[in-house]
């Protein structure tokens, strides 16, 4: 994305623009768009003929880089007496800051992730993005979390009115595999029901709901996330792999690792296909000079799209290895397998040859082993944000359910999140430890943020631009986190895999908000749940307001 933008603006060929990924701890959507500073640094470098590095102060970083949209939402829901949702109506106003940025996308995503979760046959969604005298707003990783929290709290209010357990009303309305969303995206695989049930069981929902002492609450939040979402302009991913004459492999792909664990994920996929240990696979990635095009490590495309491209490239190389080994061993290729650096006959293991010998013989025969693979998710590219918002939005969808337990000090308004159970449907996890790490990080970023993180603006000025005034969660603020991996095996994903944890980052806000509603008996109509807002809600509850 950056290479093409710089090429267009500076009017220089793409082969003279090189973008390389540097080691960073995370991106969370905030680095997925070209910034004015990118152009300024490149132009200064051309003019001065020297390297240029842009270093921002904490205040500059807070005011000039992308932030999540503030929003005001009005939500109406029509239900039958048994809790079945029959209609939804939304009116949402987004604070877009002073720049257009990813405006139409940012206005649409909160609704789309909600419609992927629940079934409602009739819907109207009006989204407005307004310009204000503030910094850049864009596709931050937890985009739309307040919108989702509002929907989930309202669902709890409906369940209470109808005398239905909040878990049951979610199970009744959750989408299953084979169904379609309101805008006609088919759900390919779904672990929704299992995620809800396992989160409820692990958290002792039945034993605690409605039985906790005053000031304590338990709540659930659910959501679905698209995998391989093109956002209107992205394509698929491609990869090539070459076998070296020592039997080791080199993978070349544009997939970026911003801290998610994508590099190890790609190496693991290659290892599984080629029968080579992970330590004997070299990875070259995220360098526009040598790697192929890739949609980037956002929109949950790394595993589902990039991982599939790696798998297909390695399968291409695998076919070549088996074909050549078949001639040498006198065994049909379909009766051979790659395992432990060897090509082995499935029927007669004594017939085997090291992969490195096959590679060397193929090279000297003029048939070097090089595999190429490309993957394009099965989506409707004719789908448009406003005029034609119908058709398959993404290759597949992952599902998640979270349960939070909170304690509220009714004298001070302070909220403590004590326990957080997160169940995430990631298909078949390629690296379970990395998936659990993503889930735990999601709770830290989005769950605990529900009670503390907020940018305070006044007349165009950010009042808390540093980490002294802008409170971020510390280790002492973290709850007990219990991640649960739900396996649903997606037929399109590499080895059945889907994205690895974003549902928790999106529903963590909702879980805390519904837990607060359970603890206070009155919904918070504004987040984050700062002490003053909690105390205000308590006072309204005493006066009988809802």
Specify the CATH number of the domain 2-55.
3.30.365.10
Reported pTM: 0.93
Q: Which pLDDT score, from 0 to 100, does residue 501 have?
A: 84
Q: Which CATH class name applies to 70-230+383-542?
A: alpha beta
For residues 224 and 441, what is the distance between their CA atoms, to the nearest angstrom? 18
17 has pLDDT over 80: yes
Q: What is the mean pLDDT of residues 118-133?
A: 95
Q: Please give the DSSP secondary-structure letter assigned to residue 292.
A: P
For residues 6 and 42, what is the distance between their CA atoms, to the nearest angstrom? 8
Q: Which pLDDT score, from 0 to 100, does residue 32 have?
A: 67
Beta carbons within 8 Å of 215's beta carbon, 6+ residues apart: 407, 408, 409, 410, 519
Beta strands in 413-504 (DSSP E): 415-425, 457-458, 461-462, 480-486
pLDDT category at 139 given cuts 50, 70, 90 is confident
For residues 370 and 364, what is the distance between their CA atoms, to the nearest angstrom? 14
**Greater pLDDT, 481 or 20:** 481
Q: Which pLDDT score, from 0 to 100, does residue 543 have?
A: 73
For residues 343 and 356, is the Cβ–Cβ distance under 8 A? no
Q: What is the mean pLDDT of residues 171-182?
A: 97
Q: Which pLDDT score, from 0 to 100, does residue 169 have?
A: 98
Average pLDDT, the chain: 91
Q: What is the pLDDT of residues 190-234, one digit of tens each?
A: 999 999 999 999 999 999 999 999 999 999 999 999 998 776 666
**Among the listed ranges 268-282, 286-300, 372-386, which one has the minimum average pLDDT value?**
286-300
Q: What proportion of the chain, given as a percentage, has pLDDT over 90?
A: 69
In this structure, which CATH number among 3.40.225.10, 3.30.365.10, 3.30.2000.10, 3.30.420.60 belongs to the domain 237-375?
A: 3.30.365.10
Q: What is the pLDDT of residues 369-410, one digit of tens each?
A: 999 999 999 998 888 777 888 999 999 999 999 999 999 999
297 has pLDDT over 90: no
Domain with CATH 3.30.365.10 in the chain: 2-55, 70-230+383-542, 237-375
**C-alpha closest to that of 165 among 194, 198, 119, 205:** 205
pLDDT category at 104 given cuts 50, 70, 90 is confident
Q: Which pLDDT score, from 0 to 100, does residue 175 have?
A: 97
Q: What is the mean pLDDT of residues 516-530?
A: 95
């Amino acid at each position: 994305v950056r290479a093409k933008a710089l090429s267009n603006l500076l009017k220089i060929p793409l082969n003279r623009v090189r973008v390389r990924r540097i080691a960073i701890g995370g991106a969370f959507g905030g680095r997925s768009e070209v910034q004015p500073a990118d152009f300024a640094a490149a132009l200064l470098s051309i003019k001065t003929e020297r390297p240029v590095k842009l270093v921002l102060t904490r205040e500059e970083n807070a005011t000039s880089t992308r932030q999540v949209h503030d929003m005001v939402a009005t939500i109406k829901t029509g239900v039958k007496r048994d809790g079945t949702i029959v209609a939804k109506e939304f009116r949402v106003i987004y604070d877009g800051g002073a720049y257009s940025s990813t405006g139409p996308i940012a206005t649409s995503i909160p609704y789309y992730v909600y419609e992927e979760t629940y079934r409602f046959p009739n819907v109207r969604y009006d989204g407005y993005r307004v310009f204000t005298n503030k910094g850049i707003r864009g596709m931050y990783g937890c985009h739309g979390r307040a919108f989702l929290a509002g929907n989930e709290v309202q669902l709890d209010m409906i369940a209470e009115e109808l005398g239905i357990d909040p878990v049951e009303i979610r199970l009744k309305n959750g989408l299953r595999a084979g169904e379609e969303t309101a805008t006609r995206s088919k759900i390919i695989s779904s672990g929704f029901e299992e995620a809800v049930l396992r989160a409820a069981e692990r958290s002792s929902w039945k034993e605690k709901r409605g039985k906790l002492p005053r000031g304590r609450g338990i709540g659930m939040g659910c959501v679905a996330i698209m995998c391989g979402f093109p956002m209107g302009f992205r394509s698929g991913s491609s990869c090539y792999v070459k076998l070296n004459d020592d039997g080791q492999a080199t993978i070349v792909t544009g997939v970026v690792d911003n801290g998610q664990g994508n590099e190890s994920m790609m190496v693991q996929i290659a290892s599984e296909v080629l029968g080579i240990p992970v330590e004997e696979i070299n990875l070259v990635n995220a360098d526009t000079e040598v790697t192929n095009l890739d949609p980037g490590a956002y929109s949950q495309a790394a595993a589902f799209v990039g991982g599939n491209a790696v798998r297909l490239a390695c399968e291409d190389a695998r076919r070549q290895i088996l074909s050549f080994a078949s001639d040498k061993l006198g065994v049909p290729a379909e009766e051979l397998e790659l395992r432990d650096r060897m090509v082995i006959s499935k029927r007669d293991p004594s017939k085997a040859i090291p992969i490195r010998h096959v590679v060397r013989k193929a090279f000297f025969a003029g048939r070097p082993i090089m595999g190429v693979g490309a993957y394009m998710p099965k989506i409707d590219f004719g789908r448009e944000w406003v005029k034609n918002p119908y058709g398959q939005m993404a290759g597949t969808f992952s599902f998640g359910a979270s349960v939070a337990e909170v304690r509220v000090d009714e004298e001070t308004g302070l909220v403590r999140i004590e326990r957080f159970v997160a169940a995430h449907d990631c298909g078949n996890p390629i690296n379970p430890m990395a998936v659990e790490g993503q889930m735990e990080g999601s709770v830290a970023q989005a769950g605990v943020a529900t009670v503390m993180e907020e940018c305070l603006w006044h007349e165009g000025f950010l009042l808390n631009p540093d980490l002294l005034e802008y409170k971020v969660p510390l280790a002492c603020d973290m709850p007990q986190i219990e991640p649960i991996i739900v396996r649903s095996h997606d037929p399109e994903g590499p080895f059945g895999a889907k994205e690895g944890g974003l549902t928790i980052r999106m529903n963590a806000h909702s879980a805390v908000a519904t837990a607060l509603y359970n603890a206070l008996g009155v919904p918070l109509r504004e987040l984050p749940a700062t002490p003053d807002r909690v105390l205000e809600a308590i006072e309204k509850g005493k006066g009988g307001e809802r």
